[in-house]
Structure 1
Amino acid sequence: MNIKELNEIDFNNIGEASWAVKVLILVVIVLVILGLSYYFFIGDQRTDLERAENREQQLRVEFEDKQQRAANLEAYEEQLEEMERMFASLLELLPSSAEIPSLLVDISQTGLQAGLEIELFEPRGENRRDFYAEVPIRLRVRGDYEELAEFVSGTSALPRVVTMHDMHIRRGNSDDDLLMDATARTYRYLEDH
Structure 2
Amino acid sequence: MNARIEKIFKLPLYQRLLLLGLVLALVGVAFYFMFYAPQLEESARLEREQQNLERRLEDNRRIARNLDQIRAEYEALQVQLERALVELPHQKEIPSLLTNISSLAREQGLEILMFRPMGEVNRGFYAEVPVDIRLVGSYHDVAMFFYNVGQLPRIVNISNLSMESARSADGVARLRVDCRATTFRFVETSTEGQGG
Distance 1:109 1:69 in 2: 56
Determine which of 4, 14, 21 is the counterpart of 1:20. 14
Q: Contact between 1:93 and 1:161, CA under 8 Å: does it hold in 2?
A: yes
Counterpart residue number, 2:78? 84
* Larger mean Cα displacement after TM superposition, 63-72 or 33-42: 63-72
Distance 2:121 2:184 in 1: 10
Distance 1:80 1:110 in 2: 42
- List gaps (5 residues or longer) in structure 1: 1-9
* Larger mean Cα displacement after TM superposition, 101-110 or 15-24: 101-110
Q: Contact between 1:142 and 1:179, CA under 8 Å: does it hold in 2?
A: yes
Q: Contact between 1:162 and 1:184, CA under 8 Å: does it hold in 2?
A: no
Counterpart residue number, 1:157? 151
| Residue identity in the other structure for 1:154 | N
Counterpart residue number, 2:164? 171
Change (3 A) 1:190 1:12: closer
Query: Residues 1-193 of structure 1: matches in 2 within 5 Å?
Result: 12-93=6-87, 97=93, 100=97, 103-104=100-101, 106-109=103-106, 111-112=108-109, 117-120=110-113, 122=115, 124=117, 137-143=131-137, 148-158=142-152, 160-173=153-166, 178-186=175-183
Instruction: Encode CA deviations 1:6-54: one digit per residue, 9 max, x unaligned.
Output: xxxx864222333322222222221111111111111111222222223
Counterpart residue number, 1:5? none
* Larger mean Cα displacement after TM superposition, 60-69 or 132-141: 132-141
Q: Contact between 1:124 and 1:136, CA under 8 Å: does it hold in 2?
A: yes
* Larger mean Cα displacement after TM superposition, 149-158 or 100-109: 100-109
Q: How many residues align?
A: 177
- List gaps (5 residues or longer) in structure 2: 168-172, 191-196
* Larger mean Cα displacement after TM superposition, 83-92 or 72-81: 83-92
Percentage of pairs with the same residue: 21
The residue matched to 1:183 in structure 2 has which SS?
Answer: strand
Distance 2:87 2:161 in 1: 27
Change (3 A) 1:164 1:16: closer
Q: TM-score, normalised by structure 1?
A: 0.65
Distance 2:85 2:97 in 1: 14
* Larger mean Cα displacement after TM superposition, 96-105 or 44-53: 96-105
Q: TM-score, normalised by structure 2?
A: 0.64
Q: Supply the RMSD in Å over aligned alpha carbons.
A: 4.0
